[in-house]
Structures are given as structure tokens and as C-alpha cells.
Structure 1
């Protein structure tokens, strides 16, 4: 390419690194030659030349969940501004597969890791991140040198339950997201906030999926006395539950109010209009990239846990609590 542009190799390197110490005329000449030759910078070669790694490895818990799409978009935009490329490993809600995916990312000489709500055990996380700059997004874990950006789950639970109790609800069931740490933190927030209000917590085990919401709703329908409101672990769970309620003769929200979590695109659909917790994912990305770049620059800094406050977006699926019991079909 240097020969094509009639410049030195050193000048080509300066242009590719976007150095300001190049005249505009020569810069255009090099870029024109690169376009004519179909040249694309090699990230690995660039790392070797500059002695700086330019790629962040990203593990996404579940690529089918709209929430993670929003978090990833936020992270990708912030990483690009910071001058990093991304190498993405799509998880499949499998803790067993996650460790292998992270090892593959590390084999590609990444500068650091961003793990979006990993399901693997804390012991596995400690082993994989012991010698690598890492930020956890959406999950807290007490690991030395591993920074965290996550939701303030207690603040979120207080928002939801404050809204529902203002509407007169007292019998409020939580459908959990399963045994993973993120879901456990969410359930813990629910229990604490319920007890602060003088109410008895009631939980049904689930998972972060539409199908889990359907199954949990069937369990709700078998309860001797129906609750007046359900708080779901995420929007997929909420929508799954709503479908079962309505097909069983319950009106949402006339007979039972439903609250989701994530304020995903699903929640905003005209036919859904789900009341949901908005986690502020736009801030997740910038906060996570800042923590990770700080960690890359100085691996020995104390770990940081940034808990981001949420907002409750109120839509059509919550209303004043019903009076008395309702008629329902068998499920």
C-alpha cells in the first residue's frame, strides 16, 4: 500500500493509527490507496505493533433476550468511542458452556472481559478472571479486582411495590428468574421491600423465559386464593404469564395486575403496554467501559461496584386492586 500511495511505510502506519502528525493531502492519498486495494486493518497485528491490545471480549448471557441487545448496544457504542473492537461470544443460558466461551475469548488476546449477567458459579468466575481485567454487567460477585455495574435491585423493588400498594394491592406474588445470582438479588429485593411494607412475600420459582412465565402463571391459577398482582422477573416472564391469565378468563389488569422488568421492546408493543422497570441500560455501557479501561490501565485499583437506579414505566397492565375473588377457568 505504501508503494501504491507513493509514501513510506512509516507514514502509512501513522495514517492507520489516525495520528494528527500527517498532512491532509498525504492522509487522503493513503486512504484512497487502502480503498483501492481493499485493505482492512488487522487488529491483532495492530496490537503487536503498538504493544497494546485493542479488543474487548464480551460474553452475552442470552442473545434471544431483548434486554441483552440493549445492554450490548450501549456497551458497543462506549467501547467504540474508547477505541476498542469487540469480540462477542453468544451464550445460550448455559452455565456449563460459558466457561468454555470465556476461555476462547482469552485465547484471542483480548485486553479485558465484559461479562453480561454470567450464569457460571462464583468459583468458576474467580478462576477465569484472576489474571484478566474484567467487568461484570448485571451481576454482582465479590471477586477481588473484578468491577461491577448492576441494578439497584432494592430500589427497583421499592418502586414497583410502592406503585402497587398505592393502587391498593396487598397480595402480590413474585415470579422469580431462577436460581442464578441476578434472579436471587431481584427476589431478595422483593422480599425486603414487601416486609418493609408489612406484607408477606410469596414467590413462585421460574426462569428468565416466556415459557417459565406461562408455567408460573398456571401455578398462580391453582392457588386457593388468587393474588391481585404479579411481579415478574423480566418482561418475557410477564408476557408469558399474561397470556395464560387472559386465556383462563382473567382480565389484565382488571382482575390481576402484572409488572415486568427491563422495559424491553416487548413491553412497549401496542398490544402489550406492560408496566415495567427500566434499568437505564444506556448508562450501563458507558459505566462498564469506563471501569474496564481504568482496570486495564491500573490492574491494582480497588474494585468498584456501581449500582444504577431504575425508573418505573407505568402502562396499562397495572390498575387498582380488585375487590373479592374472581371466576376462573380450569388450567
Structure 2
């Protein structure tokens, strides 16, 4: 079934195509009676303006593409809330695509979005190579949420895992824990190890190098870095027969999957704010902003839940 056209609306309303076009563009040159007649006819026919065609003719579509590396990642839901709210606040529509958690599929989705000639693209947690993102930015404005890139033209909004690690250690030390272990199975291992060591030293403590869970020297708390690491650490502790937080307190750096439902204490940059800040940077660049790509750091927030408690010898 063909989509209703301007001509169809004009015929139903008994006016010219040119007048219908003026109404659809919101022109003040049309009287109230004829405007209402055109809108009534459009509603009856189910007419919707062709936003893409109008945008291409005007040089601006009013739409941006959002490519999520993995739509199954729970973190993306909160990130999307933030970026969608910012886009709506500024009168921009969002077209969403997913990479399926696979770089090849993400690469294909990126190409499809570029083919649509949207006003810009926001990549959420991209897993494709930096060079590919750089090439995309050569054709349209690009912003990235959740990953930092060294680029002169790509704006990035990220958290600060080093600061989050410091906050986690400081929180546990403040609860009286003296033996705080550190687990990191993700990227940036040496950098975050240094952040952990600095925070431990600032608290007057000694780093826990080995993790003998069942001995007098066992740690009383754990800082687990990485979205998946936090969940894995909790499962490992429970399978070892340890009570969390009775025997061991746990803080996850990052939004571990199921953290809220599982009552896991976390330290992470609010995902919704990451999305909003990345979208704001993208829209600023689309609106004429130039210059070096911005590095936007969203401060981490500690959310205390059921996996931490004060240490009592």
C-alpha cells in the first residue's frame, strides 16, 4: 500500500499542493480555517511528512544515528535514556541500530547509518577499531560514549575508572576494612593497579597481592573492576561458601550486570549522564561547533547496597 502524498491531502482538503506544503512546514501564512482543513485531511489519510527527504533537501535531517555495540548490555538501557532525553530536549530524532556484540556486525550497521546521511552519529561502547571510527568522522560529526579515543574530531564521554577505584578503596577503608583485595580482569590493568596502590597507601594500608580466602590473612573486602568482573567476583565468593558481606565485603567498579537486583555496591559514572553528555557534544558539533575533539569525563558515583558493611574484628 502506497503512502499518502501531499497531492492526496490536497485533493481531500480541496486545496492546492502548495498550500498543503506550507501547512506541513508550519508557515504562518495560512489561515486557521484552511490549516485545520489540511490537518484534518492529513489525519484521515494517515499522512506523515517524509522527514528524510525534507531533511536532505534542506541539508539537515533533524535525525542522528545511535549505534550500540550490544543492545543486550543492560548498561545501554540507562545510557539510551540519557541520550534520548537530551536529543528530545533539543528537538532531534534518534535512529537506533545495534552491533550485536560483534565487530563485524557493528561495522556493517555503521555503514548502513552512514548511507542514510544523518546529521551525526553517536557510538555507544564501540568495539570496532579506532581507525574505522575516525573514517566515519571524516564524513559526518561523530561522538562516542563509554570509550576514549585520541582523535582531533571525535568527542568522547567516559567515566573515570581510576577515580572510581580510589573511591571504592576509600569507602571500604572508611568502613574499617584493613585488608582490601583488588581484582581486575578487564582493560587498563596496570593503570588501575596503580590507582589501587595509591588509594591503599593514602589509607595507610598494605596492598593484598594474593587472595587466600580461607586463612587468617584473608582479605575482608574486595574491589572488583569491570562490569563483568563484579558479577563474577560475587558468584565466586558465594560458591566458595563465603557470606557477602558477612565474611567479605564487595564493591564493583562499573555497573555489573544485575548489580541493582543483586544488591551489589557499585562505583561508576551514571550511564544516563554519559549518554546525555555524549549526545550534547554531538549536537553542539552538528550545530557548528568545531575544534579539537572533546574529552568529557563524568565523575563516578558510589551506590551503597547490600554487599558492603562495616568491618568488625
CA distance in 2, matches of 1:226, 1:129: 50
Indicate if the aligned counterparts of 2:245 and 2:306 stay in contact, CA closer than 8 A: yes
Structure 2 residue matching 1:29: 3-state secondary structure: helix
CA distance in 1, matches of 2:298, 2:40: 45
Deviation of 1:107 (Å):
1.0
CA change 1:317–1:17 in 2 (3 A) is farther
TM-score by length of structure 2 reads 0.83
CA distance in 1, matches of 2:121, 2:115: 12
Q: Aligned pair 1:194/2:186, yes or no? A: no
Deviation of 1:164 (Å):
1.3
Deviation of 1:237 (Å):
3.8
CA change 1:65–1:169 in 2 (3 A) is farther
Where do 1:212-227 residues align within 5 Å? 226-227=218-219
Find 1:43's aligned residue among 48, 51, 54: 51
Where structure 2 has 5 or more consecutive residues not aligned to the other structure, the ranges are: 1-8
Indicate if the aligned counterparts of 2:136 and 2:142 stay in contact, CA closer than 8 A: no
Structure 1 residue matching 2:55: 3-state secondary structure: helix
Q: Aligned pair 1:86/2:94, yes or no? A: yes
Deviation of 1:145 (Å):
0.8
Structure 2 residue matching 1:309: 3-state secondary structure: coil
Deviation of 1:141 (Å):
0.5
Deviation of 1:45 (Å):
1.2
Q: Aligned pair 1:313/2:303, yes or no? A: yes
What does residue 179 of structure 2 align with? 170
Provide, for residues 69-103 of structure 1, a one-character-per-residue CA deviation record: whole Å limited to 9, x for no partner. Answer: 11012112221232322222212332343222211
Deviation of 1:268 (Å):
2.6
Aligned-residue Cα RMSD (Å) equals: 3.0
What does residue 266 of structure 1 align with? 258
Deviation of 1:304 (Å):
1.4
Q: Aligned pair 1:152/2:144, yes or no? A: no
Indicate if the aligned counterparts of 1:235 and 1:267 stay in contact, CA closer than 8 A: no
What does residue 209 of structure 1 align with? none
CA distance in 1, matches of 2:138, 2:217: 50
Tell which structure's C-alpha radius of gyration is larger.
2
TM-score by length of structure 1 reads 0.79
Find 1:228's aligned residue among 216, 220, 223: 220
What does residue 70 of structure 1 align with? 78
Q: Aligned pair 1:295/2:285, yes or no? A: yes
Indicate if the aligned counterparts of 1:235 and 1:266 stay in contact, CA closer than 8 A: no
CA distance in 2, matches of 1:303, 1:162: 33
What does residue 255 of structure 1 align with? 247
CA distance in 2, matches of 1:112, 1:146: 11
CA change 1:55–1:264 in 2 (3 A) is farther
Deviation of 1:222 (Å):
10
Structure 2 residue matching 1:197: 3-state secondary structure: helix
What does residue 150 of structure 2 align with? 142
